[in-house]
Amino acid sequence: MEFDASLKGVVGKIQLTAKTINWHPNEGSAVVIDLVGVAGMKATPPTAAKARIQLQTADTKYVFDFKSRPELDSARDNLQKAIKTARDSSEAASATPETTGTAGTTPNLEPAPPTAPTAPPKPRAVKRKRIDLNPKVLLANLELQRDILKKNRELMLVFQEVVVKGSLTNDQFWEMRMELLQTAALENGQARGSYNVLSTIKPTTTSDNKINLSLTREKIHDLFDQYPIVRKAYNENVPPLSEGAFWQRFFQSRLFLQLRGERVSNNHPYDSLIDKYLDILEEQRIKRQQAASIKIDHQVPLFFDVAANSENNPETTGNAPDLTMKPQYSDMEASRLIKSMNVLSKRLLLNKRGPTSTADSDIPDLTSELRLADLQDDNKQGASVDLHITVPNQVDREIMISEQEFEAQTQALLANLVAQPIDLREVGDSTDELIAAQQQIQDLVAQQSLRNEKCDTIELSEEAYLCHAATLEFLRHFWRAHARKELVEPYVESLRKSLDRIDAVVNNSGPHIQNETKVALAPLVKSVHRALAVSGTGP
Amino acid sequence: MDGVDDTSAVLQAAGLHQPPVEEAPSLLCVIIDTHAEGWHKLEGWSFKETMASVMVLLNAHMALSNANDVAVLGFNGMGPRMVYPQKEDAPLSDVKLEGTMYRQFHKMDKTVLAALATQLQETTVNKHCSISAPLTLALCYTQRIMRQRPGTRGRILLVSVTGDVPSKYISTMNSIFAAQKAHIPIDVCKLGGEKTNLQQAADFTGGAYIDIAHPRGLVQYFMSTFLIDPATRQMLNQATQPEVDFRAVCFLTKEVVEIGHVCSVCLCIMKDEPDGSCPICHTVFESTQLPSFT
């Protein structure tokens, strides 16, 4: 398509191709404008005396003069269409949803919205929802609580025991577990990281031996995002190829296998169109490696960046790379796979980074990096916590005895010691006492063996565990209320019922574990009695 | 015995074979509470009788292996004191034999008795000494021996008749943790006095704690429980009190507390709710945070 138009007074012709606007003057060199690079287009209104179209690119402004209005209108419409097509295909690649479909639709003086001129993967805007950790809000969030209970069966059982069947209120139960609520709230509020798209695209074989792949728009989107090389291949080949044909060839290509991290066998068919990008991929990798030795490909504050300092690079000072990364120890294929996985993971991470970390200026301000931000706080109180450790006055135990008594006792002890020589043959002459002592030792050993062996290996009934958990719950509430000097009466009743429940559990457990259950729950009974004694009500 | 048939070969194959226990030298460090007040309170049982039983234990320990060694410490208001071995040791030939007793045992018994008597004679301070002081000394001595003779296993037996000094709670706990780190079990033979953190000492270090119910049978406790080498104990059910008093002591009032408050910065333990700031490290707490301290 050609239109007559003059640029800066020089008469020439505008030629439209799929990708560029070429302006050929009647004499002199041509001007080539990349369609995707056009940031805005303006046309003079029909009422204006001159028929002009102004094209704005990233660095220059081109003003084309047309001879007549109809010529301008036709040129404008065609230009708009061409720019839109060019942008659409590049946008499908550059994945900036907010500009899709809005480009170049407004005629006349309305400036067209700028497009992304180049296509580095932009970090997607991470929406940061403020997560409310206020206890009151969390206590009211019944859905969250239900979720937690659903995931944690043990907690669910305790909940049923003490809230549904017992006397605790929902709020009382959750108040003790605020940290669970807060963790769950934080977990739910977190954004999911991106995933490896290629691993989610799985071919399925149909009954007539055809291989099906399902590909959604989002997946293509993510694919372009995560693998710029695929976008490049798509952009360069799709006008000649149909979209379907492109994907079909892509998924059979070596490139796909390589990107997906699978082993490419030597007899896998080579697709000359798609697989040439493998070489580009390799070139890029080498270039990146070279660039990395000069400049880091992403911004790491120099202060933390170990790689920025060649002296600190462990590989150069003798720490060899990991065994798996050494070509002579693992085969080349594997280390290539590992490398490609590493690159992918890195990219996923970078894409997910919040906007603040990439918005920094290009030149790192080394001084400000060195500054420790939290020490800059003017408010000294908050900036540091001063520790004034003081050992409080030594309150030594009161000496119970008087000086005379002390003197007398010491002398008596000394006299007792030295009065007569010790005859070791007389030690342990009272057989009865020795037997009694041995009995105590036997008892202790027996108790110990019960603790060591039986309680660890014997499985008690589920009721016993549940009863234990529920009683502990009441005990926790009781002691909390007690420490806060709140009313403990509501819990006293529950504790008293717990004693009955414990008895019931012991009695109902099978004869083979009855004794063990009793022993296992004995400390619990003791604790309940202790609590009841403190409450002044007695058991 | 294992070598006679092919038992040791079988054990070796199963990975269960361990070098004979008795060949590793074992150091038994006995700490004796010499607070006159504590012994005075014991009825029907004397310091001397206890010492006789202790000597039986020491002799028995020495008799188990040539490589075994003992150390005895006494502590009272004057602080801890090394009772045996002494820095300047009289030569063995100076010891006059009485009866048929093995000369080395006799010498050890005499030295211990004499040193304890000297310690009592020199005691002039009417005060309680914390268990932390002799524990630290015993740990240092054990460490020294363990370094001089690698492979030595050390353990500490504490014969106690008094409660601990609550104000020294932190140092006591620190020495207990040091023993735990060094794998030195602390056995506690409690004849009287308050039961404080000594249960924790035994529990944390893997030692045995016994409240002696029958002091007249003391030698029986020594022989059947405290004499057992730690390496052997792993295979036995230890005679130790099952209940352990894990209560801590309030840093301010020095009272044993069941439920208290803990500073989130310096971890000090308080019986009562602090008044806006931590009394030890002076960290200011927001009033909204205080009620949740349970």
Write the DSSP string, A120-131.
PPPPPPPP-PPP
| Chain A CB contacts of B209 below 8 Å | none
> How far apart are the two ends of chain B, measured CA to CA in Å?
59
Instruction: Judge whether residue A298 has pLDDT over 70.
Output: no
Q: Which of the residues A399, A413, A475, A527 would you substitute to probe the B interface, choosing the one with the greatest number of B C-beta atoms within 10 Å?
A: A413
Average pLDDT of the segment spanning B119-140: 88
Do A174 and A257 fall within a single domain? no
**In a domain? residue A126:** no
| Confidence bin at A293 (pLDDT 50/70/90) | low
Q: Report the interhelical angle of A217-226 vs A69-94 (nearest 10°).
A: 80
Of the candidates B46, B219, B220, the beta carbon closest to that of A416 is on B46
Q: Which of B261, B112, B134, B146 is nearest to B198 (CA)?
A: B134
A228-276 pLDDT, tens digit per residue, is 788 888 888 877 778 788 888 888 788 887 777 677 777 777 777 777 8
Do A278 and A164 fall within a single domain? no
| Chain B CB contacts of A414 below 8 Å | 117, 120-121
Q: What is the pLDDT of residue A399?
A: 55
User: C-alpha angle B197/B202/B206, rounded to 5°?
Assistant: 150
| Confidence bin at A126 (pLDDT 50/70/90) | very low
**In a domain? residue A427:** no
Average pLDDT of the segment spanning B241-256: 80
Q: Per the structure block, which two tokens stand in for A47? A: 């009422």
Q: What is the pLDDT of residue B18?
A: 53
Between A244 and A92, residue with greater pLDDT: A244
Do A168 and A277 fall within a single domain? no
Q: How far is B5 from chain A (nearest CA, A)?
A: 31
Q: What is the pLDDT of residue B210?
A: 92
Do A141 and A272 fall within a single domain? no
Which chain A residue is nearest to residue B238, measuring alpha carbons? Answer: A445
Residue A359, phi then psi, degrees to nearest 5: -80, 0
A153: enclosing H helix or E strand: helix A153-159
B158-179 pLDDT, tens digit per residue, is 999 988 777 777 888 899 999 9
Q: Per the structure block, which two tokens stand in for A268? A: 């896998």
Domain with CATH 3.40.50.410 in chain B: 21-233
Q: What is the pLDDT of residue A388?
A: 65
What percentage of chain B reaches a pLDDT higher than 90? 28
Torsion of CA B222, B228, B234, B240, to 10 degrees: 0
A3 by Cβ neighbours in 10 Å (0-12 / 13-18 / 19+) ranks as buried
Do A82 and A45 fall within a single domain? yes
Residue position matching structure tokens 């942008």: A87
**In a domain? residue A57:** yes
Residue B239 forms contact with A (CB below 8 Å): yes
Q: How far is B103 from chain A (nearest CA, A)?
A: 14
A47-72 pLDDT, tens digit per residue, is 777 777 777 777 777 777 877 777 77
CB contact residues (below 8 A), chain A span 368-387, against chain B: 385-387
Of the candidates B98, B220, B281, the beta carbon closest to that of A428 is on B220
| Confidence bin at A458 (pLDDT 50/70/90) | low
**In a domain? residue A80:** yes
Q: What is the pLDDT of residue B227?
A: 92
Q: Which range in A107-111, A198-202, A453-457, B52-56 is most confidently predicted, on average pLDDT?
A: B52-56
A305-314, B85-94, B240-249, range with the lowest pLDDT: A305-314
Q: Per the structure block, which two tokens stand in for A534? A: 């403190």
Do A350 and A226 fall within a single domain? yes
Q: Per the structure block, which two tokens stand in for B72? A: 């005895």
Cα→Cα distances A494→A465, A468, A498, Å = 17, 13, 6
**In a domain? residue A377:** no
Q: What is the pLDDT of residue A269?
A: 76
Contact assignment for B266 to A447 by CB distance below 8 Å = no
Do A349 and A201 fall within a single domain? yes
Which chain A residue is nearest to residue B99, measuring alpha carbons? Answer: A423
Q: What is the pLDDT of residue A115?
A: 38
Q: What is the pLDDT of residue A356?
A: 42
Q: How far is B53 from chain A (nearest CA, A)?
A: 6
Rounded to whole angstroms, the Cα distance separating B27 from B63 reads 13
A312-316, A328-332, B88-92, range with the lowest pLDDT: A312-316
Which chain B residue is nearest to residue A404, measuring alpha carbons? Answer: B126
The domain boundary, picked from A298, A321, A354, lies at A354
B249 forms bridges with which residues in the sheet? B256
B274-286 pLDDT, tens digit per residue, is 777 888 777 887 7
**In a domain? residue A367:** no
Dump the DSSP string for A438-450: HHHHHHHHHHHHI
| Chain B CB contacts of A380 below 8 Å | none
CATH architecture of B21-233: 3-Layer(aba) Sandwich (3.40)
CB A388 within 8 A of CB B281: yes
The rounded mean pLDDT for chain B is 82
The domain boundary, picked from A337, A354, A371, lies at A354
CB contact residues (below 8 A), chain B span 122-151, against chain A: 123, 126-128
CATH code of the domain in which A22 resides: 2.30.29.30
**Cα A420 to the chain's mean position, in Å?**
78
| Chain A CB contacts of B240 below 8 Å | 444, 448
Say whether the ipTM exceeds 0.95: no
Q: Per the structure block, which two tokens stand in for B285? A: 């707490």
Cis omega (within 30 of 0) on the bond before B85? yes
What percentage of chain A reaches a pLDDT higher than 70? 70
Residue A388 forms contact with B (CB below 8 Å): yes
Do A157 and A280 fall within a single domain? no
**In a domain? residue A84:** yes
What is the SS3 assignment for A205?
strand
| Confidence bin at A495 (pLDDT 50/70/90) | confident
| Confidence bin at A95 (pLDDT 50/70/90) | very low
Instruction: Judge whether residue A394 has pLDDT over 70.
Output: no
Which chain A residue is nearest to residue B212, measuring alpha carbons? Answer: A437
- When divided into structural domains, chain A yields a total of 4
Instruction: Judge whether residue A129 has pLDDT over 60.
Output: no
User: C-alpha angle A526/A530/A534, rounded to 5°?
Assistant: 170
Q: Which of B32, B37, B83 is nearest to B54 (CA)?
A: B32
Q: What is the pLDDT of residue B277?
A: 82
Q: How far is A423 from chain B (nearest CA, A)?
A: 8
Cα→Cα distances A137→A125, A129, A144, A175, B292, Å = 27, 15, 11, 12, 17
Q: What is the pLDDT of residue A299?
A: 62
Do A201 and A347 fall within a single domain? yes
User: Considering all CA atoms of chain A, what is the largest pairwise distance in Å, rounded to the nearest integer?
Assistant: 137
CB contact residues (below 8 A), chain A span 466-485, against chain B: 479-480, 482-484
A132-172 pLDDT, tens digit per residue, is 777 788 888 888 888 888 888 888 888 888 888 877 888 88
Cα→Cα distances A512→A242, A500, A509, A523, Å = 76, 21, 8, 20
Do A318 and A230 fall within a single domain? yes
Rounded to whole angstroms, the Cα distance separating A7 from A460 reads 93
Q: How far is B14 from chain A (nearest CA, A)?
A: 23
Between A130 and A247, residue with greater pLDDT: A247
Cα→Cα distances A107→A41, A45, A112, Å = 9, 10, 9
Q: Per the structure block, which two tokens stand in for A118? A: 């180049």
Do A90 and A212 fall within a single domain? no
Q: What is the pLDDT of residue B222?
A: 93
A353-373 pLDDT, tens digit per residue, is 554 444 444 455 666 666 666
| Chain A CB contacts of B166 below 8 Å | 395, 397
Rounded to whole angstroms, the Cα distance separating A438 from A436 reads 5
Rounded to whole angstroms, the Cα distance separating A515 from B210 reads 25
CB B172 within 8 A of CB B198: no
B60-111 pLDDT, tens digit per residue, is 999 988 889 999 999 988 889 999 888 776 666 666 776 778 888 888 888 8
On the CB side of A466, CA atoms within 13 Å amount to 17
What is the SS3 assignment for A396?
coil
Q: Which of B181, B179, B201, B172 is nearest to B189 (CA)?
A: B201
Q: What is the pLDDT of residue A209?
A: 72
Rg (CA), chain A: 40
**In a domain? residue A114:** no
Q: Per the structure block, which two tokens stand in for A375? A: 């020490």
| Confidence bin at A106 (pLDDT 50/70/90) | very low
Rounded to whole angstroms, the Cα distance separating A254 from A275 reads 6
Q: What is the pLDDT of residue A116?
A: 35
Rounded to whole angstroms, the Cα distance separating B102 from B230 reads 26
A460-488 pLDDT, tens digit per residue, is 788 888 888 889 888 888 888 887 777 88
Do A324 and A439 fall within a single domain? no
Q: DSSP label at B271?
A: S
**Cα B287 to the chain's mean position, in Å?**
44
Range of the domain at A494: 434-534
What is the SS3 assignment for B83?
strand
Contact assignment for A388 to B216 by CB distance below 8 Å = no
Residue B226 forms contact with A (CB below 8 Å): no
Q: Which range in A244-253, A402-411, A527-536, B134-143 is most confidently predicted, on average pLDDT?
A: B134-143
Contact assignment for A441 to B221 by CB distance below 8 Å = yes
Rounded to whole angstroms, the Cα distance separating A85 from A22 reads 17
CB contact residues (below 8 A), chain B span 98-117, against chain A: 98, 101, 109, 113, 116-117
